[in-house]
Amino acid sequence: MRALRTAALSVCLMGLPLLAQAATAAGAGHGDAHAEHSGLPTAAPQVLNIGPFAITNSMILTWVVAVVLILFAQFATRNLQAIPQGAQNFWEWLVESLHDFLEGIIGADLVKKTFWFFATLFIFILACNWFGLIPGVGSIGWGHPDAQGHLGHLSDPLFRGANADLNMTLAMSMVFFVFWTIWAFQANGAGGFFLHIFGPKGDTAGALKVLMIGVFLLVGLLEVVSILFRPVSLSFRLYGNVFAGENMLETMSMLSPTMGWLLAIPFYFMELLVGLVQALVFMLLTSVFTLLICQHDEEHAHAHGHATAKH
Partner 1 sequence: MISDTAATFGVTWQLFISQVISFCIVAFLLHRFAYKPILTVLDERKQRIAESIANAEKIKQQLAEAEASRKETMQKANADALKLIEEARAAAARVQEQETQKAIAAAEQIIAKAREASQADYERMKQDLRREMGRLAVDIASRVTGKILTVDDQRRLADETNKQIAA
Which amino acid belongs to residue 179?
F
Of 18, 19, 70, 255, which one interacts with partner 1 (CB under 8 A)?
Answer: 70
CA 7 from centre of chain = 15
Residue 207 interacting with partner 1 (CB under 8 A): no
d(CA 95, CA 265) in angstroms, rounded, equals 31
Residue 92 interacting with partner 1 (CB under 8 A): yes
Burial class (CB in 10 A: 0-12, 13-18, 19+), 265: exposed
Of 19 and 174, the one with the shorter C-beta distance to partner 1 is 174
Closest CA to 284 of 20, 116, 95, 101: 101
What residues does 142 pair with on adjacent strands?
A: 156
Secondary structure E strands in the chain: 46-50, 53-56, 141-143, 154-157
Q: Is the dihedral of CA 17, 22, 28, 34 positive or negative?
A: positive
Of 18, 26, 48, 96, which one interacts with partner 1 (CB under 8 A)?
Answer: 96
Cα atoms found within 13 Å of the Cα of residue 90, Cβ hemisphere only: 9
Q: Are the C-beta atoms of 166 and 234 separated by less than 8 Å?
A: no
Residue 38 interacting with partner 1 (CB under 8 A): no
Residue 218 interacting with partner 1 (CB under 8 A): no
Residue 42 interacting with partner 1 (CB under 8 A): yes
d(CA 21, CA 247) in angstroms, rounded, equals 10
Least distance (Å) between residue 76 CB and partner 1: 7
Least distance (Å) between residue 173 CB and partner 1: 10
Site for partner 1 in 253-292 (CB under 8 A): none
Residue 168 interacting with partner 1 (CB under 8 A): yes
Residue 99 interacting with partner 1 (CB under 8 A): yes
Residue 159 interacting with partner 1 (CB under 8 A): no
Residue 225 interacting with partner 1 (CB under 8 A): no
Residue 239 interacting with partner 1 (CB under 8 A): yes
Burial class (CB in 10 A: 0-12, 13-18, 19+), 110: buried
Site for partner 1 in 106-125 (CB under 8 A): 115-117, 119-120, 123-124
Name the residues that contact partner 1, by CB under 8 A. 42-44, 53-54, 56, 59, 62-63, 66, 69-70, 73-74, 76-77, 80, 82, 84, 91-92, 95-96, 99, 115-117, 119-120, 123-124, 165-168, 170-172, 174-175, 239
